Amino acid sequence: MLKSKARITAIGSYVPEKKLTNDELEKLVETSDEWIIQRTGIKERRIAGEKEYTSDMSFKAIQNLIERYPISIEDVDLIISCTLTPDFKTPSVASMIQAKLGLKNCGAIDLNAACAGFTYGLHVANGLITSDLHKKILVVGAETLSKITDYKDRTTCILFGDGAGAVLVEYDADHPSFISAHLGSEGEGGKHLFCSNLSNHMFEQEITSTSKIVQNGREVYKWAVTTVPKGVENVLSKAAIPLNEVDWFVPHSANLRMIESICERSGLPLEKTLYSLVDYGNTSSATIPLSLDKAVLENRLKMGDLVLLYGFGGGLAHAGLLIKWTI
């Protein structure tokens, strides 16, 4: 792996004002606060307004970033929007963000790796900057999952929420953030977590065509708790860094029970794990930046900390990154 020349220099986040609590879900489906917490650890989630979409939340997360850090985004030369819930099929969310920010000479692309989207986005940004193709990239993880959630399905509607997180990645050969990475995908498992669009066939297998999220939670759980620990080992092996030197583990906030199992199998202490699901639910590509920013605002995440990020989910795609926190 080439020595990185990319540094994370700022972070921001945004969640909608509206909350959907477990007690409120009891009125929609057969469930209870006790049942949801016992199985997922989620207490509430945020829900976007009727006319609030992924590009709107992304813009607000970037505004939050600008307000908090002494940086300029006028010379940003690429926006990478990581999402599975774009406002439109086209134009891209990234193009809409570019327009809202009024940036000139700025490229714009959407990246869909579902719940692994943000880690994939960071990996791509690191590669583009390290290769000297770009100097300043905004990476945004944002979702309006509430708009594709079936609130009659008690197994999925308790999980998902909306939110956005953004980071600025800049050229810095002397103090880079990125140390090692491991990416993978098991596409044959895509049938266990999907949201249909044009096709109702997956590898010659007919599936129920729906515009809502469909998930086989048991199969996704089994896949995650076996795949992620192996990926964690791979990331650390590439960096030649022992597990006990990792300051923080930041997995995708899918389900607290899943995180507990991954930590146990990986040998990572739960007390050194950052997650955002308790207050925000599963926000797919937004969970990791929301977890990071929550730790920054709570003064837990400090400059120089070694942080292991691991995104996993729809695809079934996964991506782990070991970074040094450089903000």
Q: pLDDT tens digits, residue range 19-31?
A: 999 999 999 999 9
Predicted confidence at residue 207, as pLDDT, reads 65
pLDDT more than 70, % of the chain: 95
Q: Are residues 32 and 15 in the same domain?
A: yes
- pLDDT tens profile 246-261: 999 999 999 999 999 9
Decide: helix, strand or coil at residue 150: coil
Q: Are residues 158 and 14 in the same domain?
A: yes
Q: Are residues 36 and 159 in the same domain?
A: yes
How many distinct structural domains can be found in the chain?
Answer: 2
- Say which residue, 210 or 286, is predicted with more confidence: 286
Q: Are residues 10 and 51 in the same domain?
A: yes
Q: Are residues 185 and 311 in the same domain?
A: yes
The yes-or-no verdict on residue 195 having pLDDT over 80 is no
Q: Are residues 122 and 241 in the same domain?
A: no
Q: Are residues 83 and 190 in the same domain?
A: no
The yes-or-no verdict on residue 204 having pLDDT over 70 is no
Q: What is the DSSP letter of 3?
A: P
Predicted confidence at residue 218, as pLDDT, reads 85
Predicted confidence at residue 203, as pLDDT, reads 67
pLDDT more than 90, % of the chain: 86
- Say which residue, 191 or 160, is predicted with more confidence: 160
Task: Specify if 1 maps to a domain.
Answer: no
Q: Which amino acid is at 137?
A: I
Could you tell me the CATH number of the domain that includes residue 227?
Answer: 3.40.47.10
Tokens of 259: 């995180």
Q: Are residues 126 and 241 in the same domain?
A: no
- Average pLDDT over the chain, rounded to whole? 94
The yes-or-no verdict on residue 74 having pLDDT over 80 is yes
Q: Are residues 247 and 119 in the same domain?
A: no
CA dist 57 and 61 (Å) reads 6
- pLDDT tens profile 278-320: 999 999 999 999 999 999 999 999 999 999 999 999 888 999 9
CA dist 34 and 57 (Å) reads 31
DSSP result, 171-200: E-SSS--EEEEEEEE-GGGGGGEE--SS-S
The yes-or-no verdict on residue 142 having pLDDT over 80 is yes
Decide: helix, strand or coil at residue 111: strand
Three-point CA angle 35, 36, 37, nearest 5°: 95
This prediction has a pTM of 0.94
3-state secondary structure 212-266: CCEECHHHHHHHHHHHHHHHHHHHHHHHCCCHHHCCEEEECCCCHHHHHHHHHHH
DSSP result, 281-301: -B-GGGHHHHHHHHHHHTT-S
Catalytic residue positions, numbered? 115, 252, 282
CA dist 266 and 275 (Å) reads 16
Task: Specify if 305 maps to a domain.
Answer: yes
Output Rg (C-alpha) for the chain, integer angstroms. 19
Predicted confidence at residue 2, as pLDDT, reads 73
CB burial readout 250-287, b (16+ within 10 A) else e: bbbbbbbebbebbbeebebeeeebbbbbbbbbbbbbbb
Phi, psi torsion values for 166, nearest 5 degrees: -140, 145
Predicted confidence at residue 188, as pLDDT, reads 78
Contact, 79 vs 109, CB < 8 A?
yes
The yes-or-no verdict on residue 194 having pLDDT over 80 is no
What mean pLDDT comes out for the span 9-15? 98
CA dist 94 and 267 (Å) reads 38
Q: Which residues contact 228 (CB under 8 A, 6 or more apart)?
A: 251, 262, 266, 310, 312, 318, 320
Task: Specify if 279 maps to a domain.
Answer: yes
Predicted confidence at residue 192, as pLDDT, reads 72
Q: Give the structural domain span for 184.
A: 178-324
| Residue 30 backbone zone (phi > 0: left; psi -120 to 50: alpha; other: beta) | beta
What mean pLDDT comes out for the span 16-44? 96
Helix and strand numbers (H, E) in the chain are 9, 15
The yes-or-no verdict on residue 102 having pLDDT over 80 is yes
The yes-or-no verdict on residue 198 having pLDDT over 60 is no
Contact, 8 vs 169, CB < 8 A?
yes
Which pLDDT band, with edges at 50, 70 and 90, does 221 fall under?
Answer: confident
Burial of residue 175 (number of CB atoms within 10 Å: 0-12, 13-18, 19+):
exposed
Phi, psi torsion values for 232, nearest 5 degrees: -60, -45
Instruction: Look up tokens 């690429």; give the residue.
Output: 78
